């Protein structure tokens, strides 16, 4: 650390009260615009993180006298400007020798004080955005023995998608849902057709999505039966393949359409496919709607359509899901008569979809996505596996335990660490999902920090 004072680094700003009044930044005095604060006098701060400005002042006769003739409401006279607006800022207090200070946060402390900025809120719990709902109502990670994990997963929600993996042994992943039937499973690490459930041999994990709503949608050329959760931003659909020519469309539930553009789809032929039995994945941040990823090919990158087509992408213009045509005979992931399942994700306060740039360093990037993650799926755009993390394994930071969606391997315990924190994910590895300088695609589910519309400073 360059300096142990608040403001001692480029990532911090300090107001030093006992040095004649100064703004301290990056280890030196930025300016001396604040007035000296004498003992027993109450100072005050106004911070605008949206525009990167800071005001200081002191209360004299129940009126705030803002330094530098400041007016926080008007945005003028700030003692510091150009503060990084891309960061989440924290408040810190420090003192040396016999210096002591008292911090006042309660709204009651401001009663009777005039010249308060009307567009700012005091920093207290009453003014923090309310949590609208609990992620536990929509998604849960559960742990149990292999013999009991399915029963435990099924007990979480009435209608659901469950994804089970043996943590202790090299056994296949197993995905099942109440739409297809709870004994009919697909394996994310194979291209096999739908088969029957087999209890894992060892201690296992189940990731469970609540899908309380249903709809049969016929607005597209193919009828789709949906189970979905509009609050969470997740839907599971089943349909029968139409034609290989690329002209078919899938309509989505009205409640999901109201969320905006679909951000990610994962589709799989449930039967034996003549053309493409891979798990076909489309992500909104791929460089083209004709690009796709696979679960079952770790080397798959942000690539164009293969000879047999790719996944189902969201067509913004029409609002339908459309198949990616292949380069050979315009073949699509839509073989006539075959049964398909498709998992779809939307951005909501609980679900975040995007990509970030790796730095290949153990002090990796911080992914500030606005949720406290409980589950995440990551794919680096390189020869790399799909990493899955959750907040139950091991239940504290660093999260060193991971599973790979594209392999049958048991739970990994080192080399791919991350921190799951209150507003996102901090990479603690130079390996996947932070290897090299590539991009990494992700979908994260977590507890939101509050409604997006709260913008008070």
List, for residues 411-424, the tens digit of each pLDDT value: 999 999 999 998 99
Distance CA 228, CA 211 (A): 5
Structure confidence at residue 2 (pLDDT): 46
Q: Tell me how far apart the alpha carbons of residues 345 and 107 are, in angstroms, rounded to a whole number.
A: 40
Q: Which pLDDT does position 129 carry in this prediction? A: 63
Residue 337 burial (CB count, 10 A): 8
Give pLDDT tens digits for 176-210.
999 999 999 999 999 999 999 999 999 999 999 99
pLDDT at site 108: 62
Q: Mean of the pLDDT values across residues 155-171? A: 98
**Predicted pLDDT of residue 336:** 85
Alpha-carbon span 92 to 132, nearest angstrom:
28
- State mean pLDDT over 212-238: 97
* DSSP bridge pairs for 420: 425
Specify the residue for token string 């799926």: 377
Residue pair 3/9 in contact (Cβ under 8 Å)? The answer is yes
Element (H, E) at 149: helix 149-154
Grouping H, G, I as helix, E, B as strand and the rest as coil, residue 419 is: strand
Q: How far is CA 4 from each of CA 8, 28, 96, rounded to the nearest angstrom?
A: 6, 12, 11
**pLDDT at position 183, please?**
96
Residue 249: band (very low, low, confident or very high) from pLDDT cuts 50, 70, 90: very high
* Ramachandran angles phi, psi of 126, nearest 5°: -65, -25
Q: Give the model's confidence band at 237: pLDDT under 50 very low, under 70 low, under 90 confident, else very high.
A: very high
């Amino acid at each position: 650390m360059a300096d142990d004072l608040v403001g001692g680094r480029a990532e911090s700003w300090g107001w030093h009260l006992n040095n004649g009044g100064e703004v301290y930044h990056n280890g030196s005095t930025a300016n001396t615009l604040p007035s000296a604060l004498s003992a027993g006098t109450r100072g005050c701060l106004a911070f605008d993180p949206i525009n990167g400005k800071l005001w200081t002042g002191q209360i004299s006769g129940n009126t705030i006298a803002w330094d530098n003739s400041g007016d926080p409401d008007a945005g003028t006279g700030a003692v510091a400007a150009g503060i990084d607006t891309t960061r989440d800022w924290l408040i810190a207090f420090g003192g040396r020798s016999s210096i002591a200070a008292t911090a006042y946060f309660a709204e009651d402390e401001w009663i009777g004080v005039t010249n308060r900025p009307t567009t700012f809120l005091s920093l207290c719990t009453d003014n923090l955005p309310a949590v609208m709902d609990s992620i536990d109502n929509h998604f849960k990670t559960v742990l149990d023995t292999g013999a009991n994990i399915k029963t435990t997963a099924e007990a979480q929600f009435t209608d659901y998608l469950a994804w089970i993996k043996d943590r202790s042994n090299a056994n296949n992943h197993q995905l099942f849902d109440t739409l297809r039937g709870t004994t009919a499973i697909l394996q994310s690490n194979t291209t096999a057709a739908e088969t029957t459930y087999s209890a894992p041999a060892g201690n296992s994990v189940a990731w469970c999505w609540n899908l309380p709503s249903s709809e049969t949608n016929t607005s597209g050329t193919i009828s789709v039966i949906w189970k979905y959760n509009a609050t969470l931003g997740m839907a599971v659909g089943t349909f029968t393949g139409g034609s290989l020519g690329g002209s078919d469309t899938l309509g989505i539930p009205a409640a999901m359409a109201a969320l905006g553009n679909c951000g990610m789809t994962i589709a799989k032929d449930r039967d034996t496919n003549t053309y493409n039995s891979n798990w076909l994945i489309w992500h909104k941040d791929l460089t083209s709607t004709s690009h796709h990823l696979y679960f079952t090919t770790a080397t798959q990158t942000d690539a164009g359509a293969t000879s047999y087509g790719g996944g189902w992408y969201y067509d913004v213009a029409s609002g339908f899901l459309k198949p990616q045509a292949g380069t050979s005979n315009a073949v699509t992931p839509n073989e006539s008569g075959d049964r398909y399942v498709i998992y779809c994700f939307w951005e909501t306060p609980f679900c975040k979809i995007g990509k970030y740039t790796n730095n290949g360093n153990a002090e990796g990037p911080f992914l500030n996505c606005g949720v406290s993650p409980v589950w995440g799926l990551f794919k680096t755009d390189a020869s790399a596996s799909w990493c899955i993390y959750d907040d139950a394994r091991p239940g504290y930071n660093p999260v060193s335990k991971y599973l790979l969606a594209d392999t049958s391997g048991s739970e990994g315990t080192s080399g791919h660490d991350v921190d799951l924190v209150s507003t996102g994910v901090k990479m603690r590895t130079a390996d996947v999902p932070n290897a090299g300088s590539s991009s990494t695609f992700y979908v994260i589910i977590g507890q939101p920090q509050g409604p997006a519309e709260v913008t008070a400073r």
